[in-house]
Amino acid sequence: MANTIQAIRGMNDLLPEQSPAWQQVEAVIRRVAASYGYSEIRMPVLESTQLFKRSIGEVTDIVEKEMYTFDDRNGESVTLRPEGTASCVRAGNQHGLLYNQIQRLWYMGPMFRYERPQKGRYRQFHQFGIETFGLDSADADAEVILLSARLWREFGIADQVELQLNSLGSNEARANYRNALKAYLSGYESELDEDSKRRLESNPLRILDSKDENTQKILEGAPSLSEYWDAESKEHFEQLTARLEAAGISYTLNERLVRGLDYYNRTVFEWVTTALGAQGTVCAGGRYDGLVEQLGGKATPAVGFAMGMERLVLLLQEQGKLTPRRVVDAYLMPLGEEAELNAPRIAEQLRNELPELRLVSHCGGGSMKKQMKKADKSGAQVALIIGADEIAQQQVTVKPLRTAEEQQTLGWQALIEFLQPLTRG
């Protein structure tokens, strides 16, 4: 076994026993996204490195130390996407989806970041994201937040997540605040943690995120972001919070919330849970009115979020909220040569009649006992037994595997009627 090749650290296989839970989560997400009129977009996982440098920002954690970047055989620098928004905007610009139009888009798929793997933090992880283009009014921000809130309700975890909300103001307001914060923190430079010291020059807003206790103390006296909001952003934010309140969505104003990506302006938000330890942010997003233009398109306002699917699935599992569908309903057991010859045909006919039936047709023959073991292990509700007699009479013997009910031998029509309800289980 010494030579068995292992997966790359932080990149997980999703095993058959876990995939039903993921499929259940994905199905709810697709349905909810569709119920708001969003369309799916699928982007490549590999993009030109420039795309992320220009959008996420050169001095962010992601670009500085988390990207999987390498030269392809042509010597061109490419990067495994660390997030979806930049690719979505790139695709929108490239295909003219954003020009003078409103677009409501969603995507779901793997993202890649070179981070220290731990619970809720992986090197390949998955995000569901939505992006709304062409709308600058606060009702678009409200819609994006309401869509995420609906997901929590659908999953039965609304009481497990808290909405934290902030506004970064206009680019100018944000820049003014950045200077004020930098000026204030410079007075305490020697007392800051190492990361924050480094960020003082490059990205002082990120210091607000510092987990260091002493830095947090210093921040208590720092100027507050809301004092720097421009009048229009303030009004936009008030319109958003009024709409959320009218819709019954509660939130906490968190003036320290600034997000780790450079492209945000005005609204930023996170849905946070205390149930997952340190990796508590399940969903994060905000407005990014400058990004489309920055990536070469016509100026187009936009707002969206990305949801960490692993964290969502973990939370749902810990709360016991996942009840995935059965994988197998019925297990067809042929006993004897005549039955073995006809089993594939009978299985096909059953699938013709009942397209939703999940039917495993036993392969490889063997005794009744051996086949029954396999049937039981498959998770099927019933075994469908065919022997020479059944073949001759065009009947099937149905043996319930999960209840004490008697087995019974049924004709074709009666069999179909018997199996029908199982397909809805």
Q: Which one among 266, 311, 358, 362 touches ligand ATP, defined by CB under 6 A?
A: 311
CB of 228 to ligand ATP, least distance (A): 22
Smaller CB distance to ligand ATP: residue 260 or 365? Answer: 260
Sorted by sequence, the CB contacts under 8 Å of residue 50 that are 6+ apart come out as 77
Q: 């070469």: which residue's tokens? A: 296
101 is in an annotated binding site: no
Radius of gyration of the chain (CA): 28
Smaller CB distance to ligand ATP: residue 216 or 409? Answer: 216
256 is in an annotated binding site: no
- Four-residue CA torsion sign, 33, 34, 36, 42: positive
Smaller CB distance to ligand ATP: residue 122 or 177? Answer: 122
Window of 40-48, 102-110, 115-123, 388-396 that interacts with ligand ATP by CB under 6 A: 115-123
Helices 19-35 and 138-155: angle between axes, nearest 10 degrees: 140
CB of 82 to ligand ATP, least distance (A): 7
d(CA 330, CA 401): 9
CB of 122 to ligand ATP, least distance (A): 4
Cβ–Cβ < 8 Å for 319, 156: yes
Q: With residue 410 as reference, give the H or E element that holds it.
A: strand 408-411
DSSP 63: I
Q: How many CB atoms neighbour CB 88 within 10 A?
A: 26
Window of 23-31, 118-126, 319-327, 374-382 that interacts with ligand ATP by CB under 6 A: 118-126
CB of 328 to ligand ATP, least distance (A): 31
* Distance separating the N- and C-terminal Cα atoms of the chain: 41
Kind of pairing between the strands at 330-334 and 382-386: parallel
CB of 83 to ligand ATP, least distance (A): 5
d(CA 74, CA 295): 24
* Residue 115 binding ligand ATP, by CB under 6 A: yes
264 is in an annotated binding site: yes
- List, in sequence order, every residue forming a beta bridge with 103; answer none if it has no partner: 133
| Residue nearest to ligand ATP as judged by C-beta position | 308
d(CA 223, CA 259): 18
Smaller CB distance to ligand ATP: residue 24 or 281? Answer: 281
Site for ligand ATP in 251-310 (CB under 6 A): 260, 279, 281-284, 306, 308, 310
Smaller CB distance to ligand ATP: residue 122 or 229? Answer: 122
Quote the longest CA-to-CA distance of the chain: 93
336 is in an annotated binding site: no
Smaller CB distance to ligand ATP: residue 109 or 366? Answer: 109
Smaller CB distance to ligand ATP: residue 38 or 112? Answer: 112
Binding mask 74-113 for ligand ATP (x = CB under 6 A): ---------x-----------------------------x
Tokens of 381: 């509700």
Helix, strand, coil distribution of the chain in percent, nearest 5: 45, 20, 35
85 is in an annotated binding site: yes
Closest-CA residue to 280 (of 270, 290, 266) = 270
Site for ligand ATP in 227-256 (CB under 6 A): none
CB of 209 to ligand ATP, least distance (A): 8
CB of 14 to ligand ATP, least distance (A): 14
Q: Which one among 103, 127, 166, 203 touches ligand ATP, defined by CB under 6 A?
A: 127
Kind of pairing between the strands at 124-133 and 302-308: antiparallel
Closest-CA residue to 274 (of 159, 173, 167, 395) = 159
Give the footprint of ligand ATP on this chain (CB under 6 A): 83, 113, 115, 120-122, 125, 127, 260, 279, 281-284, 306, 308, 310-311
Q: Which residues carry a binding-site annotation for L-histidine?
A: 83-85, 113, 127, 131, 259, 263-264
Q: Which residues carry a binding-site annotation?
A: 83-85, 113, 127, 131, 259, 263-264
